[in-house]
Every structure is written in C-alpha cells, then in structure tokens.
Amino acid sequence: MKKVLFFLLYCALLILPLEAEISMKEAVQKGIEINAVYQNHLLESRSIELAKKTALLKKRFNVDSGGAYLFKSQQMEIVLPDMNPAPGVVIPGAGMLAGAKHNYDLKLSLSQPLYTGGILSSAVKLETVRLAVEKNRTRLSQIEIAAEIKTSYFNYRLLQNRLVSLDSLLKQLSLHQERLQNYFREELIKKSDLLETEARIQEQLLNRRDLLNLIEKEKINFKTLCGFDISEVEKNYSEKENAFTRVFAEFKAAHPVLKTLAEQTKGLKIRETMIKGEYMPRVGSFAEIHYGKPGIDFFKNEWSLYFQGGFSISFKIFDWGRLKRQVQIVRYGAEKLENEQADFIKMAEKRFRQLYAAKKSAEEKLETVKKLLQIAAEDIDLKKELLDEQQIANIDYLGALTRREGYLSRQNTIRAQLELIKVNITRLTGLFEEAK
C-alpha cells in the first residue's frame, strides 16, 4: 500500500507544473508600469487630450449671461417751446423727463465665430502636435527604463559569475591546503608554505565578502526598478543584435527624439499660420436677449424685453512690422530644429560606430582570454607536478591558481560587457521590443 501511495505522489509531482520563471519582457513591462516618470508622461498626455477637446469646442457658439445696474444723478429733460397755432392763440410749452436715474439690464447672449483666419483650427492642430510630442517622450522614458533594468540584470549576472569563479578558486585552494597539511605532517614542506596558502585563502574570502555586498546591492536595485526578485527572472536572457546598417536605418526611421523634432517643426509651421491669422479679418455673429428698465423706450420707465443681433468684423491694419518679426522668429526656430536633428543623427552615428567597434574588440578579447584559460589550466597541472617533486616553491603554484581565476573573472567581465554593449545599441536605436 505504501508503495502505491509513493508512486501516486511521485506521479503527482511530475504532473504539477513547475513555477515558471519571469521573462525579461514581463520584468521590463512591470518596471515601466510602476515608474513615476512614465506615469507622469501618461498624465501629461491626458491633460493635452483635454486641452485639445477645449480647443475644438472654441469653434462652437458660446452662451453668456450678465446683468448691469447704472445710476444717473440727472435725467435727460425734453423741453417743448410755446406754440402759436393762430394769431392770438398761445399754447404754452411743456417739459418732460426721459429715462430713469436707476437703470437695470439683464441679458442672455449667444456668439458664434465665423472666420478667424485659421487661428482656432490651428489651435486644435497645435494640441495634436503637443500630444504626439508627449507620446514620443513617453516612448523615450520606456526605452530608458528598459535599459536600466537590463543593465542591472547583466551587472548582477556578472557579479554572480565572478562569485562562481571565486568559489571555484577557494575550493582548489582548500584542497591544496589539505594536501600541504599532509606533506607538513610528513615533514616534506616548510610551515611557511602552509601560511602562504592560508593567507591566500583569507584574501580571497575578503574578496568574496565584497562581492556578496555588491550582489546584494544589485538585487535591491533590480527589485526597486521592476518590483521582481532578480532570482525569479530567466537566467539565460541575451540581448538581440543586428548589423550596423540595419540598426542605423531603424534609428533614423523610428527614434523618439527624431520624431519629436519633426513634430516640433510641424508645430512651428502651425504657429506661423496662427501669427498670420491675427492679421486676417475676424468675423463673428451674435444674438442677445435683454430684459431691462427702462429698456429701449426710455420715455417709459418700465421693464421691457427685447432682442438684438448682428455681425462683427475686425482686422489689424498697422503694427510697425510686428508680423514680419514674429514670423522670422518662428522660422529661426525651425532652422534651429533642423540643426539639432542633423547634429543628433551625426552624434548617434558616431556613438553607433564606437559601440560596434567596442563590440568587435570585446569579441576578439574573449577569444584571447579563452586561449589564456587553456594555457593557465596546463600551467596549473605542470606546476602541481613540479611542486610535488619540490622543484618549485608553493607560491608559484598559488600564483598559477590565482591567474586562472583572474582570467575567468576577465572572461565573465567581457561577456557582460558584450551584453551591455548590445543593450546600449538597442537603447540608442530606440526599439526595445519589451517596452512596446
């Protein structure tokens, strides 16, 4: 019965799925989601969307209401002179007051812009440009967040690999120490050989403590960036790589900074239209309902209701050349953006070439280190035999062990550098797939 239960339990363990690792894509997306800078960009985009809606509504009619009270210390007096309709007949003149000392007016008005020289339409377009610019900035923040998370990931992997190589060295030193202790008991070596080995072990233990501290710091940094423990993230992630020509073409086609500069240039053209629109005729219509006292007929001091409506037109005639100056300022701004774009592409190309040169150099150094590791392994075997035959000092063998660990550490560093170079290439291109 126990065998059957054990078999069923074993089968259940095989059927139950193992806890899946967190992919780099998930880590980056989570990091973007919790990043305050990214969230502020989203809020700014929403604000601009509301501003765009407000600009659209300015093209529609407006309804206003208001009231006024006016006091006049004197009223207008109309005096009629004496009249002589016939000889000897006199009709004495008379006087009467018009209006009132206390004047009231309540109104409800509707106004509708008919033509504004393109100002209102341009205001909507300008908000559209602002929204596009903010979306590019949002994308840029995603790219930077993704790069920070990946940089932390590869730094952590570098430190972990260094720890593995250091532990391997410590294991070999410990085995060597045990062997020396046996030799010492047989009086085949001096006490100084044991002390040299013990000192080398303690030195490496100090290095290990420093390394563990750096690993812990990077773990904290990674969790702060994306909210995940780095131990939960996939172990063998590697950044994709592409040829220089393809990467540079993608950079020019899709980098958020270049898109932003293009949108800002478009925005300046819209501003130029708005400036010119200020010197075009402005036509509007209005309709008003009034309820006032004394109203239209100021001979009657009583409340009355009346309606009025019409059209308005206005335009500027002379402004001492202000229009020309403002347009020229906008055009200078457009030229500056063109210069910025050209300079950004130029500096990016330089940076791309430097990164690809560094990548090539790292790959070549990696091949050299592999050869050095082969030589170091042979050197260790040779020195071990010579030490057993007492033809070399113990310090020489310890040096051979340490050199191999140094080459292993160098190999791990170069591998991490290669990954970080690829991360920086993708960062400069602006096309992190995980950030989409």
pLDDT one-digit tens code per residue, 230-257: 999 998 899 888 899 999 999 999 899 9
* Whether the predicted pLDDT of 13 surpasses 50: no
DSSP label of 75: -
Contact present, 24 and 237 (Cβ < 8 Å) = yes
pLDDT one-digit tens code per residue, 181-231: 887 887 777 888 888 888 989 998 999 999 999 999 999 999 999 999 999
Angle at 108 between CA 103 and CA 114, to 5 degrees: 125
pLDDT at 215: 95
The fold of the 117-280+322-435 domain, in CATH, is Outer membrane efflux proteins (OEP) (1.20.1600)
SS3 113: strand
* Residue keyed to tokens 């992997």: 157
Average pLDDT on 410-435 reads 87
pLDDT one-digit tens code per residue, 166-184: 898 898 888 888 888 887 8
pLDDT at 19: 54
Contact present, 275 and 330 (Cβ < 8 Å) = yes
Residue 410 and residue 362: Cα distance in Å, rounded?
Answer: 11
pLDDT one-digit tens code per residue, 113-159: 998 888 899 999 999 999 999 999 999 999 999 999 999 999 999 99
Q: Tell me what percent of the residues of the chain surpass a pLDDT of 90.
A: 56
Residue 108 and residue 272: Cα distance in Å, rounded?
Answer: 36
Q: Domain extents for the chain?
A: 117-280+322-435
